[in-house]
A and B are shown apart, each in its own frame.
Chain A
Amino acid sequence: MRRRIVALGVLAVAVAVTASACSSSKSSDKKTDSGSAANPGGGGSGLLSTSGAGKTIDVWLQSDAQKGWPAVVDQANQRFEQATGAKVNVQWQQWENYTGKLDSTFAGSSGIPDVVELGNTQTASYIAGGAFADLSSAKNEFENSGTWLKGLADSGTSPDGKLQAIPYYAGSRVVIYRKDLWTKAGVTTAPTTLDELFSDLDKVKAANSKDPNFSSFYMPGKNWYAGMSFVYGAGGTIATQQGGKWQGGLSTPQAQQGLQQWQRLATDYSVGGATKDEADQDGIMAQGHVSAILGNGWELGSVIDKKTGNPALAPKLATFPLPGSAAGKYTPSFLGGSDLAVPDKSSDKGLGAEWIKIYTDTVSQTALAKFAIPNTTSLLSVYEAQAQANKSTGEAAKDTWFVPNTPNWANVESNNVLQNALESIATKKSSVADAAKSADEQVAKTLNASG
């Protein structure tokens, strides 16, 4: 369960990446822009509230923000406290078993937060469940609502067009690597094909053969975002729907070829991560025995963080999009995304919405654009100009994949079907063909289940 974005959002980003060079293309959005400008500070719909003296709102944010951009959260809290007089209590959440926590919270009547963050494959089932407040009439009060990334905006909108979750941020995965180690091994240009990547990794591996803990490419065995990227890169899919029935797709020759490429990365070049997931890979890279990881753009900041990482690595890190089978083609990235919503049972819905408004406005999103793809196409140029890494993620965002779009998908994730299959491949407990076959059966069974 992590940040994700509807395939359409990919298009939006791709278009924006191309369009960001000519800002005149924004003319079509002018109407909404001026609409939101004419409506500063709420008062339009009456949904948002700024009277919060003596109150405290609870905000559930994923720890990505805690690790990646705590300052952005702080400035939003400060401005919110000034504007409303209310206090903000941010409660950091973990993606693991998050839906279970949301279910039990929303089913109850106490301890309900006023703002929640959701990954955008999670939003659909909660919108269907009527868990969130309808913010449609206040849409214009949220800045940049006319230029929101389409994928994120779609994931926050109900099938009948009601706005129930506000786009927060998106991210795509790139290779974060140690330029110094690669240069020392004789690799001076970033690889443009997978074959080049593997031969470069061979060189880096050979140059560091004395270190038994060295991973030329650290690939945790449970990193299904990476594993499935190779599946899609080789032309496969996780599952396809035929005549109303889902069928697992990992056993197809294309998907198996992708899994074999991933296996090569996870077994030949990665040390020590076969039974782990990607949650702690930034810290591991910071230890110095890893020359490359596949991570979200903002994870670079986490590798060099003073508290969680090693600042000395800052000048040595660089990024490139994960190459594909041929030059100019990338291995598709899983473009993640998050939304923010106000639970319908919240006692301070107006304040919750006001906090979201401040946390997703231009000031906040401009600050956030240093770390993640902001929620609006109008700030993508800011994002791309921030750092070399953002160019790569922007590139990587041009070619992405998305999970099968069905309500039961969440159960495939919570049952760790793909993670377990990949782990058995990484530990060589089972062959690629066997692991693919058993995963296909479980995926089909879960997706076709009723209720």
Chain B
Amino acid sequence: MTAIESREAPSRRPRRRRPLLPYLLILPCVAVLITVAGWPLYKIITLSLQKQESGKYALFHSQGTTPFVGLRNFGNVLTDSTFWSVLERTVIFTGVNVVLSLLIGMGIALLLNRVSRWARIILVMVLLFAWAIPTTVSSQVFYWLFSNQYGVVNHILDALPGVHMRGHDWFADPHEGLAVVTAVVVWGAIPLLAISLHAGITQVPRDTLEAARVDGAGPWQSFRSVTLPFLRPLIVILTTLSVIWDFGVFNQIWFMRSGHPEPGYQTLGIYMYSQGVGSSHYNLGATLGVLMMICLLFVMIFYIRQLFRIGDAE
């Protein structure tokens, strides 16, 4: 590569200016990232280390004392049993959502691979439509589907012999309520996962699959031993992304509980908002935000390592 470049470079511009160009090109991108990600990050970390000692007056007049208190906010949060139960709920909720969305996404991806061209086009279009619906809308629609009195889900379930679901309130028990939330989250996650996985599957070399078939591998075995290993990098990336998304689920829970999530619905995102913004304890909210980021940082490690691996392979 170097040989080609050095041959072409003199014709474009003087050689000594070359090292500057990449930095110039990346500058706008860095500037944008610093404004939209760096600055808020800096603010939230500072907030988490401070304590607002005066009330709303200071807040509204950009004054008052907000001394640095070190890690005291973190100590307060980490010794609060509510935080741990919220964290446990969030981890379980995330796990269930990620597994379900990946399994169903993979199922649809495989289906896309098998059906005729027309069926595939229609399926992809439907998936894209589902993907285009904002979570605010889909949450509301699912809320109506599961409405206790007039919801179609209760209506259909009630029609089954031996099932009495008339008037059943799905949101009275947070476990059932979170199951409904899971339904809408998974529903919203499937399109991207299915289309990405489908794209991945088409990249699996046909001759390898054929060789496996010739060697007597059944569909399941060739999926496990040929397709899956090929998809592994993609699956790692999609899993980490899904974990990041599902860990921070907010809208779906917020709208389904009309802005008043009960304690049993408090996941980290909701807890952070109601503590931080709802109760005006902004330092506490920032602390929770930082803790959430730290949790996700571990997940990010997988993601970034995988990105580097792909880079190396190429």
User: How far is the CB of B249 from the nearest CB of chain A, in Å?
Assistant: 18
Within 8 A of B (CB), among A49-95: 94
Contact of A272 among B53, B55, B149, B277 (CB under 8 A): B149
Contact (Cβ within 8 A) A129 B167: no
- In the bound complex, do residue B167 and residue A212 qualify as a contact, i.e. CB atoms below 8 Å apart? yes
Report the minimum CB–CB distance from B282 to chain A (whole Å).
Answer: 8
B44-64 interface code vs A (CB 8 A; 1 in, 0 out):
000000001101110111100
| Main DSSP-derived SS at the B contact region | loop
Which residues of B are found within 8 Å of A416, using beta-carbon distances?
260, 262
- Supposing A106-B59, A130-B61, A212-B166 touch, asked if A222 and B52 sit within 8 A by C-beta, the answer is no
Given the complex of chains A and B, what is the CA–CA distance between A279 and B259 in angstroms? 12
Of the candidates B57, B62, B259, the one whose C-beta lies within 8 Å of that of A97 is B259
CB-nearest residue of chain A to B51: A451
A384 interface residue per 8 A CB criterion: no
B contact residues, total (Cβ < 8 Å): 28
Is A143 interfacial (CB 8 A cutoff)? no
Does A274 interact with chain B (Cβ within 8 Å)? yes
Tell me the smallest distance from the CB of A134 to a CB of chain B, in Å: 14
Contacts of B263 in A (CB 8 A): 420
Contact with B along A97-130 (1 / 0, CB 8 A): 1011001101100000000000000000110111
> In the complex, what distance in Å separates the CA atom of A94 from the CA atom of B254?
15
Question: Do B56 and A103 touch across chains, with their CB atoms under 8 A apart?
Answer: yes
- In the assembled complex, the Cα of A333 lies from the Cα of B171 at a distance in Å of 29
Is B55 a contact of A128 with CB atoms below 8 Å?
Answer: yes
Give the size range of A's interface with the partner: 35 or more
Q: Which residues of A contact B260 (CB under 8 A)?
A: 96, 222, 277, 416, 419
* A415/B278 contact (C-beta < 8 A), A130-B60, A451-B55 known: yes
State whether the Cβ of A203 lies closer than 8 Å to any Cβ in chain B: no
Which residues in B have their C-beta under 8 angstroms from that of A97?
259, 277-278
Return chain A residues, CB-CB under 8 Å to B57.
128-130
Q: A342-383 CB contact bits vs B (8 Å, 1 = yes)?
A: 001100000000000000000000000000000000000000
Cβ–Cβ contact A423 & B280, under 8 A: no
Least CB distance, B76 to chain A, in whole angstroms: 12
Q: How far is the CA of A171 from the CA of B260 in the complex (A)?
A: 24
| Contacting pair B148 A100 (CB below 8 A) | no
Closest to B54 in A: A451
**How long is the Cα–Cα vector from A104 to B280 in the complex, in angstroms?**
9
| Contacts known (A130-B61, A272-B149); A427 close to B280, Cβ less than 8 A | no
Chain B residues with CB under 8 Å of A94's CB are 259
Expressed in whole angstroms, the minimum distance between the Cβ of B67 and any Cβ of chain A is: 13
Partner of B280, one of A96, A103, A222, A345: A103
Task: List B residues at the A interface (Cβ < 8 Å).
Answer: 52-53, 55-57, 59-62, 148-150, 166-167, 169, 171-173, 258-260, 262-263, 274, 277-280
Please, could you name 23 A-B residue pairs with CB atoms under 8 Å apart, sorted by A? A96-B258, A96-B260, A97-B278, A100-B280, A103-B59, A104-B277, A107-B60, A126-B56, A128-B55, A129-B57, A130-B56, A130-B60, A272-B167, A274-B169, A274-B172, A277-B260, A345-B60, A411-B279, A411-B280, A414-B274, A415-B279, A419-B260, A451-B52
- The interface of chain A, by Cβ under 8 A from chain B, is 94, 96-97, 99-100, 103-104, 106-107, 125-126, 128-131, 212-213, 222, 271-272, 274-277, 279, 344-345, 407, 411, 414-416, 419-420, 423, 427, 429, 451
